[in-house]
Structures are given as structure tokens and as C-alpha cells.
Amino acid sequence: MPFSSDIFPPFPEMAPGEVWLVGAGPGDPRLLTVMAVHALRQANTIVHDALVDSRILRLASADAEIHFAGKRGGRPSSQQRDINELIVAEAKRGRRVLRLKGGDPFVFGRGGEEARALVQAGIPYRVVPGLTAGLAAPALAGIPATSRDTNHAVILAAGHRAAGDEGAADWEALAATGQPIVLYMALAQLPEIVAAFQRGGLPADTPATIISNATGGEERILETRLGRLVSDAKVSGIEPPAVIVVGANAALRATLAPGMVRP
């Protein structure tokens, strides 16, 4: 069914030889943007990440070619250069290309690298933002990103860059700000990150919450404290993909979650 023109401005058509970088949100298909659904209906080549829910792909047109190009830490993954070459090649074939990425393409999604490759190849592209898991997952768990009671800023950080002395110093500097930190892709490096946070001045009793498989049927939420974060994560068997919130705002879940009706 087309979207009503009485409500929405005209939707842009996806032209042959054009690439759209589209965010698929945190997982639940109901959290897709309307523009993302429109893009799925338009594309005849779709290149998608591992974190895109399979139900979302069922919104694609019947004749669409679908390419898996997932990147998962510690597992065989598509190389970014190969993904760039694929979307460029498909566009040069005159295809209407949808690069579908979990969350938001420009928040730890390497969308900027893909956009640069498209510019260098002379290929027009469009960006369709999506709900990034670092904000959506905590919100749906009863944890506001900001609150006047706890914080006026929030830091989003990618945890897989934790190795080495320089990385450790970066984590210490982030901890010294005193602002809540939302970690993506951090479970494997969690011991190093937590140690650096504590060296940077975060107390062991700082509230912390892990949200695994956010918005999915296997979602798990673990509430703990910074000093117990590593041991509790190990004992609970929490697995990626996961978002970790460290800071005073994580404690708001105790008050807000009980009355929350989930989507």
C-alpha cells in the first residue's frame, strides 16, 4: 500500500545507478523508519549486514537481488573494501542499490567509508538515518540517554578499539568526564575497558546495564555495577550483540522500567 500523500511529502524515487545508505534500526521491524520501508520497496539490489532482522528483508520487492555482507567480531566477515566494491559495481550496472545496515549507517556503521567510496566513484547516494542501538536499546529498557536528574550529556563509544596503551588512555579520559558512556561492541574487551574506567576515576559502584539482542525475541538485560560488570557478564553468559550503559542514568531503570509497556 502506498503511503498517503495527505500525510507525507512526496517520497524520492530510487534512480538506477543510485545507492541509498539506510539504517534498519536496532532489530525489531516495527522500529524501521517510513523512509526505510519505502527504500526496501524500491531497491532491486540489497546489500545487508548481519544485524538486520530477516523479517525486514521480506519487505523487499520479489525481484530484488539480496547480498549478505555481514561483519561480526571474531568470525569470518566481509571486508569493508569488498563491500565498497560491491555497491559501486552494482550501481554501475544501473541497479537501484540499498545498503542496509543495522542501527544508523553513520553511527559505528562505516557508512562514512562507503559514502566516500561512492563519491570517489562518482555515484550519487542518499542517507536514510535509523535508530541506533546505543540510544534505542537503553530507552526501551527504561534508561534515558539524558535526564536532568543525572546527566546533560552522553558519550557513545566503540569498545572494540580498546587494545593498547593509547586505547587505555582514551578510556581513562572518557571516564574522567563523569558523563554516562554507552558502549557498542565491547564485550570482548570489557576487562580492559572497566579497568581503564576505574583508573580514570569511575567508582566501582557506578551503575551499569548490559542489553543483549535489543528488541529481539532473545533480548536479555543485566543490571549491575561497574566493579562487578565483568564477572556478572561472564556468569550470566551474556553474548553479543550487546550495548552497555555505564553511568548514573543506568540507575533510572529501577524507577522507569516497571511501568513501561514495550512495543
Name 67's bridge partners. 47
On the question of pLDDT at 168 being above 80, the answer is no
State the pLDDT confidence band at 262, using cuts at 50, 70 and 90.
confident
pLDDT digits (tens, 9 = 90+) for 51-87: 999 999 999 999 999 999 986 655 566 899 999 999 9
pLDDT digits (tens, 9 = 90+) for 119-131: 999 999 999 999 9
> What does pTM read for this prediction?
0.92
CB 100 within 8 A of CB 47: yes
19: three-class secondary structure by DSSP = strand
Strand stretches in the chain, DSSP E: 19-23, 45-48, 65-68, 97-101, 125-128, 155-158, 181-184, 207-212, 220-225, 242-246
The mean pLDDT value of the chain amounts to: 93
Q: For residue 209, give the nearest of 144, 120, 132, 131 by alpha carbon.
A: 144
| Residue 149, Cβ density class (10 Å: 0-12 exposed, 13-18 middle, ≥19 buried) | exposed
Give the model's pLDDT for residue 239.
Answer: 94
Q: Any idea which residues carry the catalytic annotation?
A: 49, 71, 185
